[in-house]
Chains A and B, each alone.
Chain A
Amino acid sequence: MSTSETTSGHSQTAVTDGHAASGSNGKARTKREQKAALGPYGRTGKIVGELDDRLGIAKGGRTFLDKVFPDHWSFMLGEIALYSFVILLATGVFLTLYYVPSQTMVIYHGSYAPLRGQRMSEAYLSSVNLSFAVRAGLLMRQMHHWAADIFIGAMVVHMARIFFTGAFRKPRELNWTIGVTLLTLGIIEGFLGYSLPDDLVSGTGIRIADSIILSIPIVGSYLSFFLFGGPFPGHIIIERFYIIHVLIIPAIIAGMVGAHLGLLVRQKHTQFRGHGRSETNVVGSPMFPTFMAKTTGFLFMTAGVTGILGGLVQINPIWQFGPYEPDKISYAVQPDWYMGWLDGALRIMPSWETAIWGHTIPWEIFLPAIVFPGLIFGVCYMWPGLERKFTGDNELHNLLDRPRDRPKRTAAGAAMLAFLFTLFAASSTDVLANFFHISLNEVLWFFRIAIFVVPVIAGLVTWRICIEMQHASGIGKRKRAVIVSRSETGEYTTTPAPGRVDADVVELDAAPVPVLIDMDSAPEPEPVGAGADGEGAGAGVRRVTR
């Protein structure tokens, strides 16, 4: 076997170079010779060659390294969601090592004095032990909870970005659909997750969930009994929630995240309009090394922020709530934030119930907790299709809209957000009434009216702002500084300020990602628009990439 055979599978015939083959066993004698034998790209080149022989990765891999990512801050929101999911997986694995998904009743004898001697489920006991007895357990538990709240928050904001800029339009409707599904799954996963400690607050949440399932006409009681293995609370709901929470839904989410990113790569990023950007290209910075460095750093930063929150900001102190007992309840019961809109809907719904022919339809639960979220997610799923239908726009879109340029869509989105936020606020009717010292009745009626009025106002105001912004000039453009001077007679005059040192900003034309960078080249001829004072070649040119 000669050295160069190992160098590259393609080059067996081109080999017999004297110095490479000189060793009797095919080994080069000096380090220098070994290096030379590996070819111009050294060990990396060899690995690429070996992999490419077997998998044919070089062509696609090169394209992937060159993949261009638009540099707009709003594209980061999805990354926060992705990285929170990574953190959830990592911290979640830690938690599974100590958490016991069991409703078997035991007596607590652990280190937290106020709970000693109390009867509780093993699930609750192991969650308390996880918080107090396991090294870094509380940090991991709180990081997991914070990451879940951030995960869903980031998905919502990311979705709003996609919506308001029209990134969901053809050809990306399928990815929008996957995204909406991910949000739905995330909310369910979050609910299941905070139910697992079996504390008093989450147990109450499961009780409400059971009532919601019961409210479904015809099949409700059957579904409830199948889920709980009998009447509430039963003995297996925690075990079932556990396996759904740690295996089934995460696997689906992971698969769909893969599909989400796969479609993103296949269809490439959208981008805002700008210098050199068109429907047929993407302008930005390359996957390797620039984007990879930025995004990996961002992963660490997301984990860092989650870690600081998890260590310093208490969340879900289950030992204060106490173990779940079906007849106990605490005051000011609020779910995690992403369930707030549903809780608010439950609170402000009038007490309508139909009892007819020996049957009961509990509209007061069924409408706000089943029909209503179904409608909201239904609208989300159907929006790309609806918009295509109503605008008659069946074109492919890779350039993003400025929200102001689509006043109706922006207004609709703002109205939806206002609607959901009002409902979210309505989940705190009791807290608000206490805080403002007004009667609960007034707060309730305020919200019953507000959920209809606030979205309309939000929509109209947004629409108006969009129209105004369209007609205003210069929005979004950098303004030149002016010097305002006042004469002795009191008149004001403005003169343009002298340009700053770097005023000779040049918007570079986008170039293809270079494969080879000639590291040794002599100083260049004048770079574009460079000032004469450049310290090194290329200095004085500031890229304006947006």
Chain B
Amino acid sequence: MSETEQTTVDVAAPTNGDGEEAHRTSVPIPIARLSDPHLQDAARYPERVERIAAVAMVLGTIAVAGFGVAYWQNANPWILGATFGAGLLLLGFGLTTWGKYLMPQGPFVEERHPLASTPAERDAMSAALVQRSGIVVKRRRMLGGLLATGLGVFGIVALFPLLRSLGPVPGDTLTKTNWKKGSRLVDSNGRPIKVNELEVGGIQTVFPEGNAYTEEGQAVDQTVLIRVGTSAIVTMPGRETWAPAGYVAYSKVCTHAGCPVGLYEQQLQLLVCPCHQSMFDVTNGAVPKFGPAPRPLPQLPLQITSDGYLVAQAGYDQPVGPGYWERNSG
């Protein structure tokens, strides 16, 4: 540092100093000559760099102006993006180049002053805290207790209606669907499904009649109807009458994370959840064969009415969808 003028000196302000300026600059301030190596351009060929930065800025200006024109003309998004992006990128490049190669790079140093206070100052603060809070706590214990009680009650009171007003308590909502005995199966347009509706290997998402349009209904009632064959099949002992005419129906809500189990792999007779790849065995009570799903998809017992419509024998015998604390898997 000694080689340069990088020292701290007393200087008068570099103008024709009168009393006022002498007064203002009586503090020592570091001065450097322009020729100081710390102030030199980092670029070896500054003119070249300056030219590059200038070209970038000119092009950038043209591009942002182009963005204005493109916006005015309501041009394609890609023209807007290209002009906007290229414009800012070029202007930024020019400015960064200027800063990096044509401004003083030092190296400059800044001293790091310790953040810690002196032991005496620390003690003073600790003492103030300890002793003064002693005045609060020790002398007026009862007031402190009363205040804490009051604020505690307020906290509980504030919390409880807040949470409560956000939504209803679950009750047994999660255990229910709108499927009940005799519900006709309808498609998403509300059209009832007749027994000759699906080919073998066909699949259809169905809802209980009257609930196909409500989002809640769609969310919990969605059921996948698959025609596995032409004659009644038994997917599990005890479900002898549940799948007449080769129709099986399972809840479409995955027992893992609730995604719609939308993929039907016909050759392997698997229902696949596209979210996390749980696979359910269609002919075997939708028992999970693979993946993270813990439980079979609940099966909807079906029957065929005399006029040829598919209806539910009953609602689901268990809650549909993912697990939760109150779910009684019993």
Using a CB–CB cutoff of 8 Å, the interface residues on chain A facing chain B are 4, 8, 10-11, 14-15, 17, 39-40, 66-68, 71, 103, 135-136, 138-139, 142-143, 171, 204, 207-208, 210-212, 214-222, 224-235, 266-268, 276, 279-286, 289-312, 325-333, 343, 346-353, 355, 358-362, 364-365, 398, 429-430, 440-441, 444, 502, 508-521, 523-525, 527-528, 530, 536-539, 541-543, 545
Contact = CB atoms under 8 A, between A and B. Distances in A.
5 contacts: A10-B24, A139-B80, A219-B325, A512-B110, A545-B105
A308 B39 contact: no
A14 B33 contact: no
Nearest to B84: A307
A52 B19 CA distance: 21
B80 A136 contact: yes
Contact of A362 (B20, B23, B91, B323): B323
Contacts of B166: 226-227, 229
Given A208-B259, A329-B275, A516-B32, A353 B106 contact: no
Name, among B167, B216, B323, B330, the residue most crowded by chain A CB atoms within 10 Å (CB to CB): B323
Contact of B274 (A219, A283, A332): A332
Nearest to A542: B44
Nearest to A368: B292
Nearest to A543: B105
Contacts of A530: 37
Nearest to A14: B20
Interface residues of B, number: 114
B180 interface: no
Interface string B55-91: 0000000000000000100100111111011111111
A214 to B, nearest CB: 4
Contacts of B93: 297, 301
B98 A293 contact: yes
B110 A513 contact: yes
Contact of B218 (A67, A293, A327): A327
A301 B56 CA distance: 12
Given A284-B107, A300-B91, 19 more contacts: A11-B23, A207-B219, A214-B174, A221-B170, A221-B326, A266-B115, A295-B99, A297-B92, A305-B85, A306-B85, A326-B219, A327-B207, A329-B275, A351-B288, A359-B325, A360-B323, A360-B325, A364-B323, A518-B32
Contacts of B303: none
B257 A211 contact: yes
A358 B1 CA distance: 80
Contacts of A4: 20
Contacts of A542: 42, 44
A300 B104 contact: no
A232 B323 contact: no
A523 B89 CA distance: 38
A7 to B, nearest CB: 8
Interface stretch (B8-16, B134-142, B146-154, B237-245): B8-16
A430 B277 contact: yes
A284 B108 contact: yes
Contacts of B115: 171, 266-267
B37 A543 contact: yes
Contact of A215 (B29, B105, B207, B322): B322
Contacts of B15: 40
Given A304-B86, A304-B87, A543-B105, A362 B324 contact: yes
Contacts of A207: 219, 257-259
Nearest to B279: A440
Contacts of B328: 358-360
Contacts of A282: 109-110, 112
A515 to B, nearest CB: 4
B170 A329 contact: no
B295 interface: yes
Given A283-B108, A305-B89, A326-B215, A289 B103 contact: yes
Contacts of A306: 85
Contact of A304 (B85, B168, B330): B85
